[in-house]
Amino acid sequence: MAQTKTVAITAIVQHPALDATRDGVVEALKDAGYVQGQNLKVEYQSAQGSPATAAQIARQFAGSRPDVIVPISTPSAQAVAAATRDIPVVFTAVTDPVSAQLVKSMDKPGANITGLSDMAPVGEHVALIREILPQAKRIGVLYNPGEPNSIVLVKALKDEAAKAGLTVVEASVPKSSDAQQAVRSLVGKADAVYIPLDNTVVSALESVIAVGQQAKLPIFSADTDSVARGTVASIGFDYLQVGKQTGAIVARVLKGEKPGDIPVSLAKGTDLFVNPKSAAAMGVTLPDAVVKRATKVVGQ
């Protein structure tokens, strides 16, 4: 019987995009011949939004010495990278692995680590907001300044917004419980609100949507999973596919390749998701052209 391999997976928090990523990893491993309960053991832990817990989980995983550790999200990846220099690490759903100091370069990650970047198509997001709200002048952005991935995306948003003649109004969300107050602070100051791939804000999305509907302030998201939860629209990745892409890299490592020799991959494929019902609740009518080219119309 083939030797059982152990893959330890951790995420900073539980929300649909990160959960779908985890499921995709396990699915791809099955496709590669690693089946849970037969020749594969999968351990999973969520840090429930706490960086201290993420560090604790990383140390625990490093101590139990699995064959590969798969951290989902930038904070979890940084915690795992700090905890081990020799156990193979394959990160995923990390916006900018170089600025997060996880790898030396995308082509030659080096050391014991590689993975997959889900850098969001921010330029397309700004164009989509302009198309749906041609009168908009100011985009509010909710983010946790403690998440390095969000800092990268907010900078990209400012660059893209400036090109489109829009200004960006920031609201800080250090903890999920701050999200509602932060979005309220944007009422009257922004014509739309953009939520980047920010785990703190996405895990508190319902409280943000509630304010958007009360104040008729349209909320857009960088990830498509949030559209089913009530954002107006998004162009983003199918995180089950992101997980599958990641799982294929994990399988290569399990078969003996060194992580440091495998270039960091970029997430493939972008989908347009729209939610006409939620848009209407926020005072927005989606243009027919946008609805017609949507990959998925939520709520129909």
- Give the residues across from 254 on adjacent strands: none
- Give the residues across from 190 on adjacent strands: 187
- Give the residues across from 90 on adjacent strands: 114
Q: Which residues of 93-114 are buried (b: 16+ CB within 10 A; e: fewer)?
A: bbbbbeebebbeeeeebebbbb
Given this model, what pLDDT does residue 61 score?
A: 98
**Spatial distance between the Cα atoms of 101 and 42, rounded to a whole number of angstroms:** 27
Q: Which CATH number fits domain 122-236+271-297: 3.40.50.2300, 3.40.50.920, 2.30.42.10, 3.40.50.11540?
A: 3.40.50.2300
What is the residue-averaged pLDDT of the chain? 96
Q: To the nearest whole percent, how much of the chain has pLDDT over 90?
A: 93
Given this model, what pLDDT does residue 283 score?
A: 97
Given this model, what pLDDT does residue 1 score?
A: 47
Maximum distance among all alpha carbons in the chain?
65
Task: Please state the φ and ψ torsions of residue 106, each to the nearest 5 degrees.
Answer: -65, -35
| Residue 256: count of CB within 10 angstroms of its CB | 6
Given this model, what pLDDT does residue 235 score?
A: 95
Average pLDDT over residues 232-239: 94
- Give the residues across from 40 on adjacent strands: 5, 36
Residue 39 has pLDDT above 60, yes or no: yes
- Give the residues across from 41 on adjacent strands: 6
| Residue 291: count of CB within 10 angstroms of its CB | 16
Q: Mention every residue, 6+ apart, whose C-beta is less than 8 A from residue 153.
A: 95, 120, 122, 143, 196, 197, 198, 222
Given this model, what pLDDT does residue 148 score?
A: 87
Where in the chain is CATH 3.40.50.2300?
5-119+238-269, 122-236+271-297
Note the CATH number of domain 5-119+238-269: 3.40.50.2300
Task: Give residue 241's identity as a one-letter amino acid code.
Answer: Q
Q: What pairing do the DSSP bridges indicate for beta strands 233-236 and 271-274?
A: antiparallel
In a 3-state reduction of DSSP, which class is residue 64? helix
Given this model, what pLDDT does residue 300 score?
A: 65
Given this model, what pLDDT does residue 2 score?
A: 66
Q: Mention every residue, 6+ apart, whose C-beta is less than 8 A from residue 147.
A: 74, 75, 198, 199, 200
Query: 211 is written with which tokens?
Result: 């304010």
Average pLDDT over residues 55-84: 97
What is the pLDDT confidence band of residue 215, given thresholds at 50, 70 and 90?
very high
Average pLDDT over residues 164-190: 97
Average pLDDT over residues 18-42: 96
